[in-house]
């Protein structure tokens, strides 16, 4: 993909208290991205199809008001804890903690005022042939019930090849838990174009974490073999999504964490490929994280309208959230999400596009 690199800042809107929200437009390697200072939100991400025609493949809104009032985490940075913590409770060093709950009695994506609702400080950068943004946020001790002042730096990079790389870093002054991720809703045919059930998905995972009725992991690492959760070979998302499997019935589709075969790695390794046969657009993902949450847009209900003027209905997009496992603080057998003073939390995810 070709494309001249550039970064442009503009005014996007204001919050009710008068805080100005800015938009940053980045172009490099044929990929075009727009990022908001509110929530670190990727408002749009445009890539070409096999004929060179561009489309925005990320769901979003036209106004800051819609993001504040209605967004189901469209394009947002998620923290302090991506995914769910059962009952919003966990214990660290023998001390119990109760964080704010916002999802049927549990905590989802850092609670109702998580990182997706915070204003981030943003600095643009150019490094060799790459362009990008540094995003900064400090979560004070006790925010949403979490211990420790957490200093977070997230780097969005568009490479000369058009890849979108995310590097997460965080430090704390008290023992805490942290699990950061990105919540882009993908439709490689273009936002507002309809269902993603014909998209072909491959996930390099032989196991997944089944959940209870509240979508909290039971602690089991179940084999995908012989179940609708087997994406080890690419298949259309719609092939098994309506199978009479108890886990699919409970979640109204796919909304589960896959246990990546590679485990935690020092460097990002390939873990998933998503392809839209109609356009030829392909997304390949690499990460050093041990888990991937695949959510098939089950709760999009037609009440939200995107920038293209079309409503978003069930199954009109999907999320692929690289992460540690949901509810890890309450499962000693899961990879730990504990961060201690003197340590630095670091994870990386790379999105590569092709057509």
When computed from its CA atoms, the radius of gyration of the chain, rounded to whole angstroms, is 19
Tokens encoding 69: 């009032």
Nearest to 74 by CA among 185, 180, 181: 185
CA distance linking residue 122 with residue 128, whole number of Å: 19
Tell me, rounded to whole angstroms, the distance of Cα 182 from its chain centroid: 3
Q: Does residue 80 have a cis peptide bond before it, meaning omega lies within 30 degrees of 0? A: yes
Cβ–Cβ < 8 Å for 259, 209: yes
Tokens encoding 253: 């589709």
How does DSSP assign 11-47, residue by residue? Answer: EEEE-TT--EEEEEEEEETTEEEEEESBTT-EEEEEE
Termini Cα distance of the chain: 9
Measured CA to CA in angstroms, residue 92 lies from 146, 176, 321, 336 at distances of 11, 7, 25, 12
CA distance linking residue 75 with residue 7, whole number of Å: 19
CA angle 280, 283, 289 (to 5 degrees): 165
Residues annotated catalytic, as ranges: 183, 321
Q: How many residues does the chain have?
A: 355
Helices (H), the chain: 64-70, 246-251
Nearest to 235 by CA among 267, 275, 268: 275
CA angle 264, 269, 271 (to 5 degrees): 90
Largest CA distance in the chain: 59
């Amino acid at each position: 993909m070709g494309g001249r690199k550039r970064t442009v800042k503009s005014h996007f809107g204001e919050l009710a208290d008068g805080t100005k929200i800015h938009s940053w437009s980045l172009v490099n390697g044929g990929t075009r991205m727009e990022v908001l200072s509110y929530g670190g939100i990727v408002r749009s991400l445009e890539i070409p199809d096999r004929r060179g025609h561009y489309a925005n493949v990320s769901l979003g809104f036209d106004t800051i008001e819609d993001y504040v009032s209605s967004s189901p985490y469209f394009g947002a940075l998620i923290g302090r804890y991506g995914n769910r913590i059962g009952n919003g409770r966990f214990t660290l060093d023998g001390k119990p903690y109760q964080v704010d709950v916002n999802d049927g009695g549990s905590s989802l994506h850092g609670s109702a005022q998580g990182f997706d609702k915070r204003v981030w400080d943003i600095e643009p950068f150019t490094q060799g042939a790459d362009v990008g943004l540094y995003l900064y946020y400090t979560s004070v001790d006790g925010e949403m019930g979490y211990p420790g002042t957490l200093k977070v730096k997230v780097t969005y990079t568009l490479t000369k090849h058009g890849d979108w790389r995310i590097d997460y870093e965080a430090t704390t002054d008290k023992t805490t838990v942290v699990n950061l991720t990105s919540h882009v809703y993908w439709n490689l045919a273009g936002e507002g174009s309809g269902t993603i059930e014909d998209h072909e998905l491959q996930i390099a995972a032989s196991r997944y974490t089944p959940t209870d009725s509240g979508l909290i992991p039971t602690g089991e690492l179940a084999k995908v073999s012989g179940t609708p959760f087997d994406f080890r070979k690419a298949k259309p998302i719609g092939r098994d999504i309506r199978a009479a499997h108890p886990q699919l019935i409970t979640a109204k589709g796919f909304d589960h964490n896959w246990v990546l075969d590679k485990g935690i790695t020092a460097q990002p390794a390939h873990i998933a490929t998503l392809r839209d046969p109609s356009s030829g657009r392909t997304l390949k993902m690499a990460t050093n994280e041990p888990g991937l949450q695949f959510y098939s847009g089950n709760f999009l209900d037609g009440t939200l309208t995107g920038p293209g003027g079309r409503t978003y209905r069930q199954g009109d997009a999907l999320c692929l959230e690289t992460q540690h496992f949901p509810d890890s603080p309450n499962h000693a057998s899961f990879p730990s999400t504990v961060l201690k003073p003197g340590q630095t939390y670091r994870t990386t995810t790379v999105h590569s596009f092709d057509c």
